[in-house]
Structure 1
Amino acid sequence: MKHLAIVLIFILMSCKNESKPETKTETDTKSEIVLESETESEIDQSVYDMWNNYIKSNPEFKDQEMPESDFFHNNKEDANRLATLTINGKKKASSGLYSLYKQYNVDIPKVGTKQIITDFDGKAKAIIENSSADTIPFHKISKAYAALDMGTDIEPLEKWKKAHWDFFESVLEESGQKPTEEMLVVCVIFETIWTEK
């Protein structure tokens, strides 16, 4: 599960919402991924506190290991915006490039897996739980799914395609590959099951 954090930057990245202009950092995201496992000393105390509060209210999960914690996207502005969309229940999905799972030898997300979503600084904001995971060609992504991922119903499919194409293109460029309409996307739908009161 520790490898999940490596891929989450890719799979949990989301895109611009309807009022946010495009910036270079959203589409020109070269591999600034740190391929190190999270250590306990790097985890903010709020992550432990959130998990402890969750299991106090849900004692049936007291024997579960604390889930991975990570933020969406790869920059502070987007990470914090996407955490807020998750807290508010607007963001309900995330998308990742299937080839990256293969490249990093990471398992596809599973239904029932929980994750603690943080802001860019590592402060816990919400706990999510995967309710579905599927692999779909880029050109077959639906408007309904795009709306869940983007957290908006204003032109969600157009926004999703533009932002994800740009992101996937920048990632693939490093290995000399190009995106295609047939490239497989790992589509995860989740529920926000806990936020701090």
Structure 2
Amino acid sequence: MWNNFTKSNPEFIKDELPEAEFFHDNEKDANRLAALIINGKKKASSGLYIWYKEANADLPKIGKKLIVTDFNGKARAIIETKKVDTIPFNQVSKEYAALDMGTEIEPLEKWKKAHWDFFASTMEKPTEEMLVVCERFETIWTEKD
């Protein structure tokens, strides 16, 4: 996929091959999220700030590219980070939630439930004030099957 992207976008030919990963922790959700990215509905991703701190990892940087795969590792899209904010869980906006969830139907309610459940499964005591890294991205390349 990266080769096809750089052939069509030669200004990126010297860029390093981006990391590749799937979103979420199970096949059904990983494949569903990849499909939302491909069709342009999902334009954001959320992670806990503490995950970055514990892993001694840098927060996402504007301009960073990522190859999104399905659960089985098949490249599905290339995304580019456009904006990164770190905000408390209870201050996530409806606008941001719609970008992350890929829906306009009760996006904040759906975002809070899905992310609370997911975050709570990875930590001892989630709080309304836990910091969330809110990454907005643009899908810059997809390949049709």
TM exceeding 0.5:
yes
Q: Which residue of 1 aligns with 2:29?
A: 78
Matching residue of 1:99: 50
Asked whether 1:116 is paired with 2:34, we answer no
Provide Cα deviations, 1:59-115, integer angstroms capped at 9, x if missing partner: 111111100000111111111111000000000000000011101101000000000
**1:131-164 Cα deviation digits (max 9, x unpaired):** 0001011110000000000000100000100111
Is structure 2 residue 139 aligned with structure 1 residue 192?
A: yes
Amino acid at match of 1:70: E
- Inter-partner Cα distance in structure 2 for 1:142 and 1:165: 15
Q: Supply the distance in 2 between the matched residues of 1:96 and 1:108 (Cα, whole angstroms).
A: 10
List aligned pairs for 1:47-58, cutoff 5 A: 50-58=1-9
- What letter corresponds to residue 41 of structure 2 in structure 1? K
Aligned residues: 144
What does the per-residue CA deviation read over 1:10-67, in whole Å, with 9 as the maximum and x for residues that have no partner? xxxxxxxxxxxxxxxxxxxxxxxxxxxxxxxxxxxxxxxx000000011111111100
Identity %: 73
**TM-score, normalised to structure 1's length?**
0.72
Structure 2: any 5+ residue segments left out of the alignment?
none
- Offset, 1:166: 1.1
TM-score by length of 2: 0.98
Offset of residue 169 of structure 1 = 1.0
Counterpart AA for 1:190: F
Letter of the 2:127 partner, please give it.
T
Q: Partners in 1 of 2:112 and 2:18 — Cα distance? A: 30
Q: In the alignment, what sits opposite 1:144? A: 95
CA RMSD of aligned residues (A): 0.7
Q: Give distance in 2, aligned partners of 1:128 and 1:134.
A: 17
Which structure dedicates a bigger proportion of its chain to strand? 2
Runs (4+) of structure 1 exceeding 4 A deviation are: none
Residue 16 of structure 2 corresponds to: 65
Report the alpha carbon displacement of residue 194 of structure 1 after superposing the two structures with TM: 0.2
Q: Matched residues in 2 for 1:74 and 1:169: separation?
A: 14
